[in-house]
Chains A and B, each alone.
Chain A
Amino acid sequence: MTKTADFISICRLEQLERERGATALVAGHAVAIFRTYDDQVFALGNYDPFSKSSVIARGIVGTRGDIPFVASPVYKQAFDLRTGACLDDAGVSVPAYEVRVEDGLVLVGPRKR
């Protein structure tokens, strides 16, 4: 169990549009938060290693097979929302963070292992 203290609250769930991303500032880092069609919430590092810019939250959200993903808005590489793994380039990934939704609040926690 992760302690609640490691999670910080970001925004209310309804502030997030479905199948879109928003950028949050978490411990000084830009983090991309996504709300999927079925109201799951995921968090990835916002920095796109391909374009070297802070843009992941602005990509299109969808599915590849059963995998929920976001496509970088710059060169369109797909990242798995659950793990941060790049689906188009096996060696590359972005950090993925733990997320909880409690009482309508979106909380982002530590980096997933």
Chain B
Amino acid sequence: MSTRKTLVVAGHGMVGHRFVQAAIERGLTERYDVIVYGEEPREAYDRVALTSYYEVGADALSFLPGGKYEDPRAVVTLNTEVTAIDREAKTVALSDGTTQAYDVLVLATGAAPFVPPVPGKDLKNVFVYRTIEDLQAIEEAAKTAKAGVVIGGGLLGLEAANALHKLEVETHVVELAPRLMAVQVDDAGGATLKRHIEKLGLTVHTGVMTEFIDADKDGVEDGKVSGLKFKDVDEVLPADIVIFSAGIRPRDQLARDCGLEVAERGGILVSPNMQTSDESIYAIGECAAPGGRMYGLVAPGYTMAEVAVDALLEGPGEFLGADMSTKLKLMGVDVASFGDAFATTEGALELVYSDAVAGVYKKLVISEDCTKLLGGILVGDASSYGILRPMVSSGIALPENPEDLILPASRGTAQIGMPDEAQVCSCMNVTKGEICKAIHDEELTDVPAIKQCTKAGTVCGSCTNILKNLLTEEMEKSGKAVDKSICEHFAYSRQELFDLIKIGQLKSFDAVVEAHGTGRGCDICKPAIASILASQFNGHVLDNKTTGALQDTNDAYLANLQINGTYSVVPRIPGGEITPEKLIVIGEVARDFNLYTKITGGQRIDMFGARMEQLPEIWKRLVDAGFESGHAYGKSLRTVKSCVGSEWCRYGVQESVAMAIELELRYRGLRSPHKLKGGVSGCARECAEARGKDFGVIATEKGWNLYVGGNGGAVPAHAQLLAGDLSKEDLLKYLDRFLMYYVRTADRLQRTSTWIDQLDGGLDRVKEIVLHDSLGLGEELENEMARHVDTYFDEWKATIEDPEKVARFVSFINAPGTPDPNISFTEDRGQIRPVTFDEPVSLGSSIPVGAPQ
């Protein structure tokens, strides 16, 4: 008999999934087999980002693509609902007619949309907004619809309205309360929000009650929506779609049916450790009501999941309520609400800033004695949320002029002395003290490093600005200014230099240093400026008058320097596709020059051990055979790796090799702040490991998903989805913009992943700029890339055709025929291997040398 126990989880939503993840991470699966039942046809997905389904598709929202946990002791069964609980027998009944025994049962059944008993609610084209299936049905109906109504002007209602608007349906929002988002904002805030939304072309009806939904045919059961009738309004509002989004109700029926205690207003009553009135049954997320109250946000649900896992491990964790502060962006409008937003504290005072022209409304709620911030509302500009919210939770004293906290930045910036115990990141519960200690002890110098080290700012990211301020503060305290200078010669960051060079049309290092720098440069600024000049003007990297003396180690000789002073040559093999003839040529070249060969990670063949003076000869052989030597070095595009794709693979859905070749040929030679790698996979199996690349393209049935910001190396990062189901034209357009914006604005030696992390707004910011062209730069970036593509040339071929450049490739300027005696090889496994010497090797003075006369 096994001593292992069985843990059944009812519900595979966001919270159920988080519970299983925590159970695996914390070792609960050492004791329990975890069986999860999800009634939806798909595994847990990001319901918070539901609206983006139309842009990115279902796969991108999934939390568990493939539906399998890494730990085989946790198993998910989809399309299966728990229909009843037998507490006596400790079994659950399932929708497929079977039963399953449990030792511990965790209820994570979530909530259901609340549909008020309005006549006509069962008509065709009446929807709710909760699952991907709901969205698919709405999408289908929207194809023939002219107008649609969303009933409910809360957070979810506005999300649904946004979706309907994006589907190009004339959209109305109907709210019973006198304002939008009645739970979070006050009348003035609601009015500001309403103006923003109406500007986008939606119509908002507040303070109206729906009397009934009108049908296209009277008395017919399967009638379709034709309009909406408000109480006390004669005219019917024509509509072809109605979406109910008027709140949610805990799904606690299972608990009610088996006699578990439930809260008065719904929700399964649980103790602070998430146990129900039956000690073998736990409830977490929206279906649970700790202290009699349900929480309709995901963050408290996640906390409950963690607490339940802790309880099952006999830990002390308790759920002690949650911060219901919210900050979100709705249709491009910032909305935040925190603390005592409605000034319910006795004697509380309000301080309001309102700019109807700019559409900004900010309110602070302050204690009677004006010493503490109690809460606030921000609409239109929530940038100060990151500073304000921790002021409430830590209870620190207000600055002398609290109005500075909400005035536009140009008017005043309050210095806030937060105490060490102030919580900065509420998602991961990190205090100011912990962050400052990490900055100090680990010698952190940028925000991504703080995030990585402390985990602060890694969930919602709203505290990123505070992290930045704390970093500056700490660095200044220890006498280290956050210096953005690239080196002692230029008091500018790479991005600033890029702009200065562009504006001044400076074309050489001399011109740049004369205009903006001091001294004669160094190994930091020279390659950086060479890269910027290459990005902007795309001349030959070895051009004597401009960039020839600026190039870093490998770029200076167009090959990879190896440990003994020799080079390796890596012919470009776009997408990894190569003919047998070309393979033979590589073999012949390697054999003739006695080079060590190895297959690279980027689907190429590397030939090692070439002496500098041999490089032009090797390139000539390659050029003659139709190759170019490749950028296996330098801060530039390396390769675009591919799987074999639909031309051969039984599973492929698009031609990934052809796409990879096209991308590699398009972006080859692009000089960038750091190396760039790409990948293209022909289906979701992702054999090309595209998500480990700076840009990864993964084929879908409908087109291509574009991922950005991945890398391998010491700090691996998975690329994140930028846009889904793209046509080839859109893919190239967005990729052009993404890469060029990165080239323009990243710091020196900053990979795309850290660059995205340190942008204010992170990936969302990238989406705004690349997809929605919020800076109006789209065309300019595309043109810059077009110029790069048009002016690309084979720089190795150009080198061997120019005697002045070839002159660089000699062993000794005064003895070109004599090889450097410091280079020597032995043999290992049938190939050459370098030998190093502890002292310089001398040929003796027997060889006559001298200047050519």
- A residues engaging B (CB < 8 A)? 8-12, 15-20, 22-30, 33, 36-37, 45-47, 51-55, 58-65, 68-69, 71, 73-74, 76, 78, 105-106
Contacts and interface: CB of A to CB of B under 8 A. Distances in A.
B536 to A, nearest CB: 21
Nearest to A67: B519
Contacts of B813: 10-11, 15-16, 22-24, 33
10 contacts: A10-B814, A28-B846, A52-B837, A53-B836, A54-B820, A55-B565, A60-B523, A62-B525, A68-B520, A76-B523
A62 B840 contact: no
A47 B822 CA distance: 8
Contacts of A17: 544, 548-549, 808
B823 A63 contact: no
Contact of A54 (B520, B526, B565): B565
B729 interface: no
- Specify the main secondary structure of chain B where it touches its partner: loop
B186 to A, nearest CB: 59
Contacts of B550: 60
A76 to B, nearest CB: 6
Contacts of A52: 836-838
Given A53-B563, A53-B564, A28 B522 contact: no
B851 A12 contact: yes
Interface residues of B, number: 53
B549 A11 contact: no
Interface stretch (B375-383, B452-460, B552-560, B765-773): B552-560
A63 B807 CA distance: 26
B849 interface: yes
B556 A73 contact: yes
B812 A28 contact: no
Given A18-B549, A61-B549, A71-B523, A55 B561 contact: yes
A58 B556 contact: yes
A50 to B, nearest CB: 11
Interface string B796-826: 0000000000011011111100101111000
B522 A60 contact: yes
A106 B549 CA distance: 20
Contacts of A74: 553, 561, 563
B843 interface: yes
A83 to B, nearest CB: 18
B292 interface: no
A61 B527 CA distance: 11
Contacts of B551: 60
Contacts of A53: 563-565, 822, 836
Contacts of B822: 30, 46-47, 53-54
Given A17-B548, A19-B549, A53-B564, A62 B519 contact: yes
A61 to B, nearest CB: 7
A25 B526 CA distance: 28
Contacts of A73: 552-553, 556, 561
B845 interface: yes
Contact of A62 (B520, B552, B818): B520
Contacts of A24: 812-815, 849
A98 to B, nearest CB: 16
B356 interface: no
Contacts of B815: 24-25
A47 B192 CA distance: 71
B520 A19 contact: yes
Contacts of A61: 520, 549
Contacts of B553: 58-59, 73-74
Contact of A63 (B519, B836, B844): B519
A53 to B, nearest CB: 4
A44 to B, nearest CB: 11
Nearest to A51: B563
A93 B798 CA distance: 38
Interface string B362-384: 00000000000000000000000
Nearest to A105: B851
B851 A10 contact: yes
B850 interface: yes
B331 to A, nearest CB: 50
Nearest to B836: A52
B847 interface: yes
Contacts, number: 139
Contacts of A51: 563
B296 interface: no
B820 A28 contact: no
A52 B564 CA distance: 7
Contacts of B556: 58, 60, 73
Contacts of B557: 58
A62 B811 contact: no
Nearest to B510: A37
A55 B822 CA distance: 10
Given A45-B840, A55-B565, A73-B556, A25 B544 contact: no
Nearest to A64: B522
Contact of A46 (B612, B840, B843, B846): B840
Contacts of B823: 54
A60 B840 contact: no
A52 B845 CA distance: 22
B347 interface: no
Nearest to A55: B565
B203 to A, nearest CB: 63
Contacts of A105: 851
B548 to A, nearest CB: 7
B843 A28 contact: yes
A12 to B, nearest CB: 7
B486 to A, nearest CB: 13
A19 B124 CA distance: 78
A29 B840 contact: yes
B488 interface: yes
B549 A64 contact: no
B527 A25 contact: no
Given A47-B822, A58-B557, A63 B521 contact: yes
B852 interface: yes
B513 to A, nearest CB: 10
B344 interface: no
A23 B552 contact: no
A63 B520 contact: yes
A6 B472 CA distance: 58
* Shortest Cβ-Cβ A-B pairs, 8 listed: A47-B840, A54-B822, A71-B523, A73-B553, A62-B522, A53-B565, A28-B843, A9-B851
Given A15-B813, A58-B557, 19 more contacts: A8-B849, A9-B850, A20-B548, A23-B811, A24-B813, A24-B849, A25-B815, A28-B844, A28-B846, A33-B813, A52-B838, A58-B556, A60-B549, A62-B521, A65-B488, A68-B520, A71-B523, A74-B563, A78-B522
